[in-house]
Amino acid sequence: MGVYYVHYLIPLDNSFRPEPERIAALIDALAAARFIPRPEAGDGPTYFLDDWRREAAERTTSAAQEPPKPWWKRIFGSKAPERPPLLDLVDVERPFAVPLTEESFAALADRAVTVGWTIEDPLADGLAYPFEQRPSRDDPPNYRLLIEASEDFRTETINRYDDTGTVDPHCRCGADLSYSRAPFEDVAIRRLCPSCGARFEPRERLVTFTNGATGESQTIHGGICYRFAVAIDCEKSIPPAIEDGKEGKLSRRFLRVCSEALGVELHELGSYS
C-alpha cells in the first residue's frame, strides 16, 4: 500500500486552543504514560513556527519577483539576491526543551507552532503504542507524535484519493478565508473574516468524505479543521487495523491521557493521502 496516513485527535470544539501551561501538562502526562520518551532519554522533541518558514519562503519569492532588469545587467552579473540554500528551509526545527523553558512556553504561545517527537520502534524503547491494536514486532512502526497549536485554523483534506472531506473555507459573506502556509503550502483558514469580521465556525460545516479504510461515505461536522491537535503522523507506517480494512483507533488509554490533561472532549479522524 502506498498510503500516507496521519491520525488527528482534535477538540470537539474546533476553535479550542489550550493555554501553554495546559499543553505543558499534556506533555507531562504523555511522558508519564510512556507515549513519548522521558526528557532524560535523550531523543528530545523539536519544534518549528510557521513564521520561520514563511520568512524563509518570502526570501525566496522576493528574489523570484525582482522586476526584470535590462539585458546587459542580467548578462554582466547584477547583484540579485540569491535564493536561500535548501538547508535554510529545512533547518527551521529547533530543539524543544523539556522540562519547559521560557523559549518552550513562548513557542507554545506563538501564532502557529508544531512540536514533534520522532518515535522509531516504540516497543523496543519501552514506549506505549498510541493505537488500539498492538503493532507486529516483525514490522515495528515508526511515526511522529505532533502537538500543533495555532491562532488560525489548520485544515487537512480527509481523503486525498478522491479529494473528499475538505472544509469549505468561504465566509458567509463569500470571502475565501484560506491561505497557504509557507513554504510547504499546507492550508490555513483565517479565524476572522477580514471583509465582514465574522468568525469562521468549522462546526457549522458538514463535511462528507470517503473513509479510506472502509470505503464508506461518511459525514461529520467540521472535518479536520483545528486550532489544536495531537497528530500521529504515521507516514507509510500505517496502524495495523487499517491494514486489515478497519479504522485506525487510538487506545482508550491514550484518549484518556489526552482528554484528562486538556480538560476537553476530543474526537479522532484519519487523513489518507
Site map (CB under 5 A) of Zn ion, residues 209-228, x = contact: --------------------
205 grid coordinates: 460545516
Question: Pick from 173, 179, 235, 263: which binds Zn ion (CB under 5 A)?
Answer: 173
- Tell me the three state secondary structure of residue 55: helix
User: What is the C-alpha separation between 93 and 113, in angstroms, rounded?
Assistant: 11
- Single-letter amino acid, residue 210: T
Asked if 177 touches Zn ion (CB under 5 A), the answer is no
The DSSP result for 5-17, as a single string, is: EEEEEEESSTT--
Could you tell me the smallest distance in angstroms from the CB atom of residue 186 to Zn ion? 22
In this structure, what C-alpha cell is assigned to residue 20?
501553554
- 38 near 254, Cβ under 8 Å? no
**Count of C-beta atoms within a 10 Å radius of residue 85:** 9
Which of these ranges, 62-70, 89-97, 135-143, 192-200, lies near Zn ion under the rule CB under 5 A?
A: 192-200
Segment interacting with Zn ion (CB under 5 A) among 15-23, 46-54, 196-204, 262-270: 196-204
Segment contacting Zn ion by CB under 5 A, of 38-46, 163-171, 205-213, 249-257: 163-171
Report if residue 199 touches Zn ion, rule: CB under 5 A: no
Taking CB under 5 A as the binding criterion, the range among 27-35, 70-78, 162-170, 173-181 that sits at the site for Zn ion is 173-181
Is residue 171 close enough to count as binding Zn ion by CB under 5 A?
yes
Q: What torsion, rounded to 10 degrees, do the Cα atoms 158, 110, 118, 36 define?
A: -100
Query: What residue ranges bind Zn ion (CB under 5 A)?
Result: 171, 173, 175, 193, 195-196, 198
